Every structure is written in C-alpha cells, then in structure tokens.
Structure 1
Amino acid sequence: MDLKIVPFKSSYAKRFKELNVAWLEKYFYVEPKDAILLENCEANIIDKGGYIYFAQYNDDLVGCFALLKMGPNEYELGKMAVDPNYQGLKIGQTLLGFAIDLAKQKRWKKLILYSNTKLENALYIYKKHGFIEVEIEKNLPYARSDIKMELLIN
C-alpha cells in the first residue's frame, strides 16, 4: 500500500471538510463547533498553532486528523476521519501513530481527545496506543462527547 502522511495545504481544506462531514453525519451530526472548525480550518486550526495532516493513498486524500492547540505543549487530537471506501486498511491507526510520534518529536506533554463510547473500534485503538480515560469536564465543546482520554507523552 502506497500510503503517505502529508501536511495541510490550503487546497486540501475542502477535502478536510468532506472527510469529517461524512463521518459526523454517519454517526452523529455536524455541531456548531464542528462547523466553525471545518468552514475555515486554516484560520481556526492552523493559524492558532494547530496542525492538520492527511493520509494520501496513491494520489487520493483518504484520511485526516487535526491537532488543536489547547495550551503550552498540550494538543487535542480531533477531526480524525477516513474515507469509507478505504476503511479497514489501518489508515486510522497509521494516522494516530503519526500524531503520537509528532507529539514526541515536538516534546509535548500530552494529547487529549474527546469521543463517544458507541465508537468502540476507535476507543479500542486509542487504548491500544496508550490513551487512558480521564474525568470529563462539564461544559464540553461537543454534545456527542461522553468520554475524554489523554496520552502523557514523556
């Protein structure tokens, strides 16, 4: 499989939105916070100190994730999506591994993520990569979130 992880380019913004809207509408719905991030991902993620990466299979962008800056050396892993036509090829796991390696390389303290307990496969993969469940705060950015996990990097 010819899979590469490539950084965000402005021309990829539309694909970032398409990938995320597809999974959100399959399992949940697009919430106001999603719309803000997806409508202008460059201004609301990249320009605020965050990162977006894509899984490129041959010439197609088939998956993505974002790292949203939360504080000094702390990022939220979010907006991870894989095109339904390419699921089952461990692309999500490859993206997750890349995100963790990036965090280690940049010497961040931790990665956090918000998810939903009905996404059993995703939670299994997060746990397999060392994420642990932590207490979830009350005023959450997403209504769908019912679990918070973190990975301490050092």
Structure 2
Amino acid sequence: MTTTTIELTMRPMATAADAEAFRTLNEEWISKWFRIEAKDAATLGDPQGKIVATGGQVYVAVDGERVLGTAALIRFGDGIYELSKMAVAPETRGQGVGRRLLTYMLEQARDLGAHTVFLGSSTKLKNAVHLYESLGFRHVLPSELPEMKYDRADVFMKIDLI
C-alpha cells in the first residue's frame, strides 16, 4: 500500500477557485447525509457577501493548488463566532486534514478577538463530533447559543478561548 504525503497550507479564502471549492466540498457532504437547505445555498453561493463582508472568514487547507478542506468562522457579535461549513475532500478524510484545519481556525478565531466559538452538528456525523470534542468543544443546550436554523442540527457545542 502506498501513501502520499499531504503538504497542507492553511490560509483565508482568496480566489474564486477557493470559493468554488468551499461550495462543492460542502455540497458533497451535506447532500450525502442530509439535504441542502435554503440557508446552505445562500451561504455557499456567496461566501464573500454572507461571511467575509460581515466580519467572518472562510479558510482553506490546500495541498499545492488543490483545496482539500474548508471551513468558516461567521461573526455573531463581539467575540462570538460560529464554526460553520467545515468540509474535507472525501478521499483525504481520516488523514488529519480536518484536525489541522480546525486547530488553525481556532488560532485564527483568537486573532479575530473571539472569546467563544460555537457550532451545530449532527449525531449522524460521529467523526466530526468526536473531532470537536477532542479539541475542547463541549456539549451545551441549544438555548445557550445564538439560534441556528438548520434542520439537521441536533448537536450543539462551544469552546471558550479565554
């Protein structure tokens, strides 16, 4: 069995190709497990306007020119961000791309002045929930977080960065 080394570089979304990878990688996992909701389509179709222009950021994990992972920090208020739309290319899942991307994103959240990062996930996504737990996210009641209007969300978590 041969293994290939992934040389990851993490950076903010910078090109139309990055935005397209953000859309396609997320559409892949969402449509596999759930359905693409109107809020998904709006965010994935205009990450610059829906995320970056409102004080958040989309990040990409790249190997050479190929985007292998994406995720967003959506600003909800002073020091409060939602981790959203985290996706890893199917052929590289289980190789640490998601862990490295999430670690990078938490560093970036601190640099943005975040004191809290929260997320909504699903019990169907056991590996994702385990990843969040392993990096310090804790389960909370949905009433402890800003409202997230996704039908699929039944796991609610947050991490305090200060």
Shorter-chain TM-score range: over 0.9
Matches within 5 A, 1:25-104: 25-104=31-110
Q: Does 1:145 align with 2:153?
A: yes
Structure 1 residues 41 and 145: CA distance shift in structure 2, 3 A: same
What residue identity is the alignment partner of 1:112?
F
Partner letter of residue 31 of structure 2?
E
What is the count of residue pairs matched by the alignment? 154
Distance in 1 between residues matched to 2:61 and 2:148, nearest whole Å = 28
CA contact (8 A) 1:10 1:42 kept: no
Residues 39-87 of structure 1, C-alpha deviations (whole Å, 9 max, x = no match): 1111111111110010101220111000001111110001000010111
Contiguous gaps of at least 5 residues in structure 1: none
Amino acid at match of 2:149: P
Amino acid of the structure 1 residue aligned with 2:7:
D
| Counterparts of 1:124 and 1:56, CA distance in 2 | 23
SS of aligned partner of 2:95: coil
Identity %: 33
Which amino acid in 2 is paired with 1:18?
A: T
CA contact (8 A) 2:120 2:148 kept: no
Q: In 2, Cα distance between the equivalents of 1:108 and 1:7?
A: 17
- How far does the alpha carbon of each residue in 1:3-36 deviate from its partner, in whole angstroms, 9 at most, with x for none? 1002112412111100110010111110111011
Tell me which residue corresponds to 2:3.
none
Check the 8 A contact 2:29/2:87 in 1, yes or no. Answer: yes
TM-score, normalised with respect to structure 1: 0.95
2:28 aligns with 22
Q: Structure 2 residue aligned with 1:6, among 2, 6, 11?
A: 11
Cα offset for 1:117? Answer: 1.1
Contact 2:137 2:159 in 1 (8 A): yes
Structure 1 residues 51 and 119, CA gap change in structure 2 (3 angstroms): same
TM-score (norm 2): 0.90
CA contact (8 A) 1:69 1:75 kept: yes
What secondary structure does 2:123 align onto?
coil
Where in structure 2 are there 5+ consecutive unaligned residues? 1-5
1:108-149 CA distance string (max 9 Å, x none): 110000000121111111111110011113963100000110
